[in-house]
Structure 1
Amino acid sequence: MTSVTITDIASALGNPAIRDSRMITTLLTDSRALTFPEGTLFFALVTQKQDGHKYIKPLYSRGVRAFVISDRHFPTDEYRDATFITVPDTLAALQQVGSLHRHRLSMPVVGITGSNGKTTVKELLYQMIGGTKKVSRSPRSYNSAIGVPLSLWGISDDADLALIEAGISRPGEMDRLERIILPTVGVLTHLGTAHLENFPDRQSLIREKLRLFRHCDRVYGCLDLDPDLQTVLREGSYPFALTGWSRSRQDAVLWIRREVHTSGGVDVDATLSGREVHFELPFLDDGTIEDCYLALTILTELAPERLKDLSFTHRLEPVSMRLETLEGEHGMTIINDTYNADIDSLSIALSALRRRQELLGKPSAVIMSAFRESSHDKTGLYSTISSLLRRFDLSETILIGDEMGEYRTTFSPNARYYRSTEDFLADHPEEYLADHVVLIKGAHESHLEEIVRRMVRRVHQTILSVNLSRLGHNLNLYRAHLPKGMRFTCMLKANAYGLGSNEVARYLEQTGGVDYFAVAVCDEGKELRRLGITTQIMVMNPEPGSYEQIMSNHLEPNIFNKHLLLDFISAAERYGAHLYPIHLKWNTGMHRTGFDEDEVEEVLTILSRTSAVRVASIFTHLSVADEPTEDDYTYKQLAMLDRVEERLRQALPHPFLKHALNTAGMTRFPDYRSDMVRLGCGLYGFSPLQVDPMGLEPVASLSSVILQTRKLPAGATVGYGRKGLLTRDSRIGVIPIGYADGLPRQLGNGRALFRTESGALIPTVGNVCMDAVMLDLTDAPTAVEGSRVVIFDDQLPITRLSDACGTIHYEILSRLSSRIARHYFTE
């Protein structure tokens, strides 16, 4: 692990007066990625969209004490025990610190650039060499102006080799990266047209990439050169010799003499460094196969001992960031290539599609969105893509996004078009494209990964079980507690507090007794309408730009200020609406959103000028209804809403509803005169009060399964940071749920107890990981691999977890990830 004192870093950045002996082990640019605050140096990067200085306060509260800033007016005096290094440009400072560490390294540093295949070649090299040498490499695709210095910082001093990617999108960027990386070995992957929009022509783009190798003697690549690369090398003066692999040149380091594609990959006869060899690769697409050829040539310099026996090649694992083949529902095979969005990678992906189609004997389909990174000439681009698609026997071609719609006439008249991924998913059931091989490819902003999630076969081991019958039970408890005829709004925001709004809404609508559903944003309401929910739906946080979709889906917005009221009226008038229902929220003391009482007359004036909208309800939000000591404040809130109601009823021509009581309010103030209540956490079995007077029944339970067990001696440590120190000989188990699933990291290191099938309580051990939790099974001998573990249920309440985290129970529930399976049942 890299470790440098703050003093040394400050001195390198032009702040020699700073004296701080604390060691820095982690450079941080994204506050969400904080793991070890005591050794972190945060760089407050300033971009067009974000200013990192605003994250200093929350990071300080979480334990970070070292910051690099560029705002000389930042109030550093408020953080007396923190060290601030002030620089003109925090990004340049980050790169300088990365360069500082680079100069300390003595091992070979491989610089990898190109249009496609950088990450794949890097990961293949890591697989090929990793067993024989210590290899450090860029994480994921950290190849940008920010990613490269972070990658370099992560290189261990004792590594035998470093693999660093370098990606550019504009002229002048590679010089800066080259000065940081200082590669001793160069690798040039496939050259395409990605980012060509920022260069006058493709040759200029190639010249920029080659600047990474200004101080390299040798660069590895494919010797079957395309014309533009040939021209650039011929006309330029470069210090390096290009060597590598070829299908045509016998003088290449790796000459591919024969390739035979099989059901499992490709068999290759070749000449490698003058020696005839045979090897197998477990890949079907040309891109990955050619990346393997390139990696093998690089081994001749970096690890020639690995080439004595090539049997390892058939055990290579695919790089998941590209052309991931997944088993789908309803007999589908899915080729997920939502990582690349340029025409060069399309050819590679289509070749994999064809081979998979031929092997499986299934029809094929392509789902694609805009190729935003590829070309100045969009007409020419999409004409080329269309021509490429026509070479393949596709039963379905599906185009998604506005840009694809603009050029849809370029494609086959049988191609289907959808404005968005959401529209496509709304139009088709899960069994659409059953028994097809489906290539899904396009730009990140199109969110095609949502289609992948819909189609992929799901095999879950962590399950959130939802007892729908208890929803009805809890609703009826409140119905009996309140005056007869009271209307109910059931809150479905945050995906029904994490339980799944679709199933909850469907059940409540079928069983009856609910007058409104309330969601947070328009998209949640649209999804319910898509599923056929007809109950009135209130949108609590309508966003600018969503008004037309709100009206077209018969949703009803919460209006809480004058600007929102005027904007929605204007949208309703353009839409041609008449007396469209809206809900007016009043601020009576919560001081979050809502009209103030002294705005009543202005609101009435605005409403009197239009017939496009009508007031369906007025309401407020009680801030301390769960606190008996604050009842005077609650009564003041209710009295203020009553005054607003009286004035509005005098002036408005149409009747409207009034509601103020949330779950705590309806529990403690059932006699308050109103027309409707809003039932939230109580519906799901959680009382907002210290003692539940209602007899609520928890709706959900969460369980997982033990993946693996192992015995460890006393003194061993478990998990990241070695936080789980064993004080006795122990048996440790792992379950597949972590903080990425919504399980808080605070629950690690024994701060939570789960339950085995036999009823034994077992503590967590070590830190909660992204996808896993370790448990001490020493006192639970019947807990074995495959056994289920209960995280919370009726007997092991969720409040045990929320109390351990210092939060509320429904925060835990609402944060549970969508990748946890929801199983619904009724009693």
Structure 2
Amino acid sequence: MASINFDSDFWQQKLLLIDSRKLIFPAQSIFFAIKGRLTDGHHFIAELYQQGVRHFVLSEAPALEKYPEANFIVRPNVVQVLQEYAQYHRAQFELPVIAITGSNGKTILKEWLSQLLEQDYTLAKSPKSYNSQIGVPLSVLAINAQHNLAIFEAGISTVGEMQQLQAILKPSIGIFTNIGKAHASGFSNLEEKIKEKLYLFRQARILIYSINHKLLHQKITKTFTNTDTQLWSWGASTEAKIPMYTQVRTHKTLVQIHWTNKIVRLAIPFTNAAAIENCLHTVATLLYLGLPIQTIEQRIEKLRDVPMRLELKEGINNSQIIDDSYNNDLEGLKVALDFLQQKHKTSPEYSKTLILSDIPEFKNHQQYRSIARLLQEHQIQKFIGVGSVLSQVAAYFNAIAETYFFETTNDLIANLGAKISFYQESILLKGARAFEFERIAQQLKKRIHGTILEINLEAVTNNLQIYKNQLLPKTKMMVMVKASAYGSGSYEIAQLLQYNHVDYLGVAYVDEGVALRKRGIQLPIMVMNSAAYEFEILCKHRLEPVVYSLSMLNAFVHFLTTKALDTPYPIHLELDTGMHRLGFVADEMPVLLSTLRKHQSLLDLKGIFSHLAASDEQQHDSFSKQQIQTFQDLAQEIEQHLSITTIKHLLNSAGITRFPKHQFDMVRLGIGLYGIDPNQQLPLLQNVICLKTSIAQIKTLDAKETVGYSRKGTLKQPSRIAILSIGYADGFLRAFGNGNAQVKINNQLAPTIGNICMDMCFVDISHLPEAKEGDEVIIFDQREMIEALAQTLETIPYEILTNISARVPRIFYEA
């Protein structure tokens, strides 16, 4: 097969697209139809062609007659084409590249090095955690002629992958962070994993690593002895190139460094082991690059923890904040604008606002013209520029409807509420570290309760796709968003489901459906319970009622006779096949069928459904199969009598995996969307929900002291007790007190002690000497913790999730 000519017109001035949802400029895009674990890009070719895309890289030959204006490159491996293109692009630039690999800390280290070096270099770097076989080439393709240093991270999951990344990156400086068991399943042992990762540095001038990792040190010295790669080791040993010794204090760590025949000391603003190691990697790197130790100390004092995701938070005046204020570079801005664009597609009622600082990597004013064009392309409606350079080039942004410019962050904050106001806006904050945009974020965020519920939208999408993959091609999917989407927030989850083209939503009550309609959800919505007095508002908002009794059917027919509707109104029939909750039973069929036939001009029977009473319990399988047969017989009788075809559905989350042959026309996905599979047959499901709070205060108490109401918590020995900002009014119920539940602090479990209060509770942290006031506390962040709480109450995970109070703010994010 002939090699690809990357100098051809096909590749010139094009934007690479691997996610069809992020299309902005169709005519300028090349779509790479990548086959992933859950999706296949080839399924979106027709849709993208219809939207104007004309350049495609595929692994399957298309039907050319369907796409007369398109240009196709067809190769067996689309990802390999992307990698070859990145390798070609990399070869056009002579610049030093720092490549980072290791089991943990790659992204943090990359971001910290960028912060520390942005004053000295024009940097290219990986956006977010782009370190995969796809992420690395996308990162490299961002290099341009202005860059004089690049920092990329590289991650692998199996043998053979690093060779591809090495060929793309060709690093001159390597950093090996550490070695551990993360992503270890693709390797036979740690030695093999180290060997594979070291391939990245086979042509590097220098390799920076910590001698504290003994096995890593052994393998590196053995691999690079008698090579041209210089080993730049650091650690608590005189064997290291740079001996470094640490002493952890309460709020900082003191470091003694033996460097150029001197002992120098500096303080770093971190006390946990992972942050200390990452920080010392940066020190070693900066020493290699020739920065004076005094400069290094000054810059490191300003380092702060880096958020690893873009979060959508509630803001003032019905606005939402996308806080990406920890750094500012061109590629990161593009990623953040893409995120803002996706949020706008699902929430078009919010206008788009960007608050941006000067960009340190830009060395001349003309480069800001590209930013102005980028903002116009993303249809930014309000732009606020902060910094002396942006103030000087304000005229570049005249095409934006509303603009403001300030020399400093202080100037902007002083004008908030006076000169500048916000209402119902999606506000993206993107600022270089020196501008301290976190201060702006604090001004714009809605003041909220200390306990929060985080919802991982990427995990929701992952879980949705996993369940879709269990379905037959013609099977539709309804997703239940009742009870505030199992506690996670109905509207936000419904938005995502609408964006991902599910067929139906299900709610319990009319007011839930009305709320979704008022916020722009257009999907068909089935309402499980409605009363006669709600029929008017139900029809006004095009909600489809479940009819489960003859009295309700007659009442709805009577209501419809008073309306002059142009078409029959859609309804769904609920059948009772053995659960004996709501629904028609077999004995009612004659009257039901007669009524339905008589009023076919008023009623459009869209769906027929029932509930399995014990779909997740194997001991009741014979009863479940009996229910399936009863449902099939009754539904068939109804359809034949009325000469219609309906959407028939019976299976819930557990039923989807346990009874795959009985999907009928649609399935109803519920708690499985949130990563809880009662049968544990889908190991790739991800947890969606994390309930967290913080330590409000710590008390050291003597033995025999008591804690909490009714003095239920009696101490048998001197103890450290943490008071947490969560109580039974938040959903952490009284039954969890007195040692009946455990929470996670610094990744270690701590039991409750004493009774749970309305707004507070107590945990024993005597075994956690490093725990301090303000520390994050995880109530649950994985299925096992949710199930443990459910077992305490002798209930099911549904109840744990739906008990989370509405006063607990929901924060939605994409990892």
TM range (shorter): 0.3 to 0.5
TM-score, reference length from structure 2: 0.45
